[in-house]
């Protein structure tokens, strides 16, 4: 008799722990070909609010680490991802309906994307900051700082490469994140949370909620303790009105990273393209400090 495998319970990732949804709800996740894969936790408003509390709590510590340290932690994430390539390849293949070969290429690209951002952490201030030659006897310098707690609607389609491509630039500069995963392809995100939990990323820095995007996005966009929101995941999300989310975000003047628009309609970006600095720039604030010079 063949051995019966031990299945994983897919749960949320909040504050470094793996709770079920406080709502007790779950939903069926199926593969690209419609086969049952798992019951994922269906995150609720309360889960989102708990995640924001965790992200806020982790912000001082994470933004206070040195850029060098954040780079090493991100690199560690890539290392642990690499060690679990096979598992991710299987999940990506079943979620996205890819061949094994194509899924492997996606996992490779995702690992390399994390490495790319790991190398950015201690260059961001140099590239986005500078001295300002003011007309007077003053030392004057402008440098980027993390915006704070960032809400991320992760892409609906690209369940791993797209996911790391929206998380890594946010945490590279020292922000903390509350991520709402792809609604229909959430499993690689849950597995990524296990990677994060074992990569020296402090609990609360990244919080991952599997949920129906349309249900929880509004709570995230309206939350007064969230400083910025990435609306990438509205593209292809059922029943999501991104204009309404942006309008909610205006309540506390969140920085809004709009979805990519093609003829006015949100589309998922090409995740294989050079990411550039756009996503890093979107979630930093420029601080300018003046001090007199003199004897």
Partner 1 sequence: MPKFEYAPAPESRAIVTIEKSYGLFIDGAFTRPKATFPTINPADETVLAEVSQAGPKDVDKAVAAARRAYEGVWGRMSGAERGKYLFRIARILQERAREFAVLETLDNGKPIKETRDVDVPVAAAHFFYHAGWADKLEYAGLSASGADVPRPHGVVGQVIPWNFPLLMLAWKIAPALATGNTVVLKPAETTPLSALLFAEVCQQADLPAGVVNIITGDGRTGQALVEHPDVDKIAFTGSTDVGKAIARSIAGTAKKATLELGGKAANIVFDDAPIDQAVEGIISGIFFNQGQVCCAGSRLLVQENVHDQVVAKLKRRLETLRVGDPMDKNSDLGAINSKAQLDRITALVEAGVAEGAERWSPECTLPAKGYWFPPTVLTGVSQTHRVATEEIFGPVLSVLTFRTPQEAVAKANNTAYGLSAGVWTEKGSRILWMADQLRAGVVWANTFNRFDPTSPFGGYKESGYGREGGRHGLEAYVTTAPSTLTGTAR
Cα separation values, 226 from 31, 179, 205, 214, Å: 33, 12, 13, 18
Binding residue for partner 1 (CB under 8 A) from 17, 66, 200, 290?
Answer: 290
Say which residue the tokens 């400090």 belong to: 289
Helix (H, G, I), strand (E, B) or coil at 198: coil
Cα separation values, 20 from 42, 169, 187, 286, Å: 8, 27, 14, 38
- Sign of the alpha-carbon torsion through 253, 202, 83, 13: negative
Segment near partner 1 (CB under 8 A); pick from 84-92, 150-158, 194-202, 237-245: 237-245
Binding residue for partner 1 (CB under 8 A) from 17, 28, 46, 130?
Answer: 130
Provide, rounded to whole angstroms, the least separation between the CB of residue 197 and partner 1. Answer: 29
Binding residue for partner 1 (CB under 8 A) from 7, 101, 276, 295?
Answer: 276
CA-to-CA distance for 109 and 23, rounded, in angstroms? 35
Number of residues that bind partner 1 (CB under 8 A): 50
Helix (H, G, I), strand (E, B) or coil at 276: coil
Token duo for residue 116: 């790319």
Binding residue for partner 1 (CB under 8 A) from 6, 243, 265, 295?
Answer: 243
- Binding pattern for the stretch 244-273 against partner 1, x by CB under 8 A and - elsewhere: xxxx-xxxxx-xxxxxxxxxx----x----
Q: Which is nearer to partner 1, 243 or 295 (by Cβ)?
A: 243
256 C-beta neighbours (distance < 10 Å), count? 18
Binding residue for partner 1 (CB under 8 A) from 135, 239, 265, 295?
Answer: 135
Q: Which is nearer to partner 1, 140 or 199 (by Cβ)?
A: 140
- In the range 144-173, which residues lie near partner 1 by CB under 8 A? 147
Give every CB contact of residue 7 below 8 A, 6+ residues apart in sequence.
38
Return residues touching partner 1 (CB under 8 A): 127-128, 130, 132-136, 138, 140, 142, 147, 227, 241-247, 249-253, 255-264, 269, 274, 276-278, 281-282, 285-292
């Amino acid at each position: 008799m063949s051995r019966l495998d031990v299945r994983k319970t897919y749960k949320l990732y909040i504050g470094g722990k793996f709770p079920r949804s406080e709502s007790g709800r779950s939903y069926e996740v199926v593969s690209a070909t419609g086969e049952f894969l798992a019951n994922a936790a269906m995150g609720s408003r309360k889960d989102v609010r708990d995640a924001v509390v965790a992200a806020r709590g982790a912000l001082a510590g994470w933004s206070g680490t040195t850029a060098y340290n954040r780079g090493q932690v991100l690199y560690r994430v890539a290392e642990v991802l690499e060690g679990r390539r096979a598992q991710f390849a299987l999940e990506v293949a079943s979620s996205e309906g890819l061949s094994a070969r194509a899924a492997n290429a996606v996992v490779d690209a995702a690992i390399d994307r994390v490495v790319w951002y790991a190398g950015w952490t201690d260059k961001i201030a140099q590239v986005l900051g500078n001295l300002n030659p003011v007309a007077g006897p003053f030392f004057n310098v402008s440098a980027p700082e993390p915006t704070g707690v960032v809400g991320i609607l992760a892409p609906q389609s690209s369940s791993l490469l797209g996911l790391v491509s929206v998380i890594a630039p946010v945490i590279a500069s020292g922000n903390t994140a509350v991520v709402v995963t792809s609604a229909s392809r959430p499993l690689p995100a849950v597995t990524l949370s296990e990677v994060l939990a074992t990569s020296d990323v402090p609990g609360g820095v990244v919080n991952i909620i599997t949920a129906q995007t349309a249900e929880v996005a509004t709570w995230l966009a309206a939350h007064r303790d969230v400083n910025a929101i990435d609306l990438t995941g509205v593209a292809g999300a059922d029943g999501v009105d991104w204009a309404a989310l942006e309008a909610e975000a205006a309540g506390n003047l969140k920085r809004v990273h709009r979805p990519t628009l093609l003829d006015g309609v949100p589309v998922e970006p090409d995740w294989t393209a050079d990411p550039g600095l756009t996503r890093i720039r979107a979630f930093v604030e420029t601080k300018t400090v003046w001090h007199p010079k003199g004897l």
